[in-house]
Amino acid sequence: MADGNGGMEIQMNIDGKTRLLGLLGDPVEHTMSPVIHNTLSDVLGFNEVYVPFHTTSEGLKNAVKGAYDLNILGMNATVPHKNAVIDMLVDIDAGAKAIGAVNTLVRVEGGYKGYNTDMMGLSRELDVYGISLKERNAVILGAGGAARAVAYMCAAKGCKKVFILNRTLQKAESIASDMNRYFKKDIFLPVLLADYEKLYDEYNDEKFVVFQSTSIGLAPHNEDVVIDDSRFYELIDVGIDLIYNPFETKFMRLCRENGAKAYNGLRMLLYQGIIAYELWNNISVAEDVADIVYNKMLKSVRKNIILIGFMGCGKTTVGTAVAGRLGYNLLDVDLYIEKEAGCSISQIFADKGEQYFRELETDTLKKLNASISHTVISTGGGLPMRPENAEELRKLGTVIYLDVQPEEVIRRLSGDTSRPLLQGDDVERKVNRLMDERRPVYESEADCVIPVTGRDVEEIVDELVCIVE
């Protein structure tokens, strides 16, 4: 069963055996942690429920004690509690102690043990993307709590040098000094952000792995960036922005424009949550389960709406109206392909055949999945039929099937010569045959089905907006 966020509904059966998990923070209204942990419990069949608890600094001590008395299995701690909560723990992991921050509390005898799964999550993200830091030079932009966790991970994974750039040198010096002392290595070097050009002298044809750990570029300030100098980005091999909203920050875009790979912090968020869940339950979560959770997170963050359905169902018309209503961008996959190819779909079919065009559709979905968010996407009628496209659609956003009756399609497309698959005689037979083939696939890949025959556009848009919001 689909939910309003474009994923599977989480089925919670709360009873006397249900264990509670939670989040301590202020504020907690926009946290994605419930999506991670409740999805894990649902998929794995664990009788556990994760709940955000709005907890003030003044009430933190009582909240931790009360949680233990209430037999709460485990908790996360977020801002502003990651440092203060340490004094309320009976034990702390070595990594968390070195970083000076805790984000995960695991129930043990007499209280809770603290861990920092942020740096563990980032480490697992790098492993998944095949990024090695061993004997590499890294740059950290920022010197806050997140930068400290990144610094610990860089040293633990074998970085050769780590440059910490910050607007005020004192904070960068503090992290560098603490980490050099902890690891008994002189690899961390503080640099005043205004002096970033000093990195050019350290380049020596060996590109940097750069971590963007500040809040600069966070939505709605999408066009803000710490360093706005294309020469700097020419020195980058891999850029990782801990921000995930927007899905593609300006930092990431500048990295890619200069030939570097770029990733956001969504998988870090995923894996820090998964690692916390593993600690609470003493289990190991398989990567296919992680992918299920990640796809659900993608839909929550990016809020893309994908319209599928047979030709003539109104995807362009409805898409335009929905985009206008929500203030989203609008993208027609067929028009996008035509622009990229420099010719019409009909010409592509005539010159290179349908198979070539279907491959173009798949390549386009992969490209869109790398960056696009808050967009209504209208697809070609045959796009969902290719198995390779199903996974891309699930990651891209909430899939809405606009279901139209054959007779309505025939009426709408009468005299249309732009659709290659409907050329020739006996259009009615072709429409019915294609719809019989495609309808089961449309239904299986859609998060929601909206009938459109005999309904005006406003009515359809009202229903669709209610679903996605």
The domain spans of the chain are 19-115+269-298, 120-264, 303-468
C-alpha distances out from residue 332 to 13, 138, 229, 380, 447, Å: 41, 40, 33, 8, 20
Rounded to 5 degrees, what are φ and ψ at 267? -70, -30
The whole-model pTM stands at: 0.80
Cα R_g (the chain), whole angstroms: 25
**pLDDT band at residue 371 under the 50/70/90 scheme:** confident
**CA distance linking residue 382 with residue 27, whole number of Å:** 45
What is the pLDDT, as a whole number, of residue 92? 97
What is the pLDDT, as a whole number, of residue 8? 42
**The two structure tokens encoding residue 222:** 């999408």
**pLDDT band at residue 428 under the 50/70/90 scheme:** confident
C-alpha distances out from residue 17 to 13, 14, 49, 349, Å: 10, 8, 11, 60
**pLDDT band at residue 5 under the 50/70/90 scheme:** very low
**CATH homologous superfamily of domain 120-264?**
NAD(P)-binding Rossmann-like Domain (3.40.50.720)
Q: Please say whether the beta carbons of 293 and 8 come within 8 A.
A: no
Q: CATH topology of 19-115+269-298 equal to that of 120-264?
A: yes
Catalytic residues: 82
Is 85's pLDDT higher than 70?
Answer: yes
Is 116's pLDDT higher than 70?
Answer: yes
What is the pLDDT, as a whole number, of residue 220? 85
Is 422's pLDDT higher than 70?
Answer: no
Lowest mean pLDDT, pick from 160-169, 294-303, 315-324, 361-370: 294-303
What fold characterizes domain 19-115+269-298? Answer: Rossmann fold (3.40.50)
**The two structure tokens encoding residue 382:** 């045959």
**pLDDT band at residue 430 under the 50/70/90 scheme:** confident
Q: Which amino acid is at 312?
A: G
Is 3's pLDDT higher than 60?
Answer: no
**Average model confidence (pLDDT) across the chain:** 91
What is the pLDDT, as a whole number, of residue 414? 64
Residue 11 vs residue 124, higher pLDDT: 124
Tell me the CATH class for 303-468: alpha beta
Residue 320 vs residue 414, higher pLDDT: 320
Work out the angle at residue 462's Cα, subtended by the Cα atoms of residues 457 and 465, and round it to the nearest 5 degrees. 120
Is 336's pLDDT higher than 50?
Answer: yes
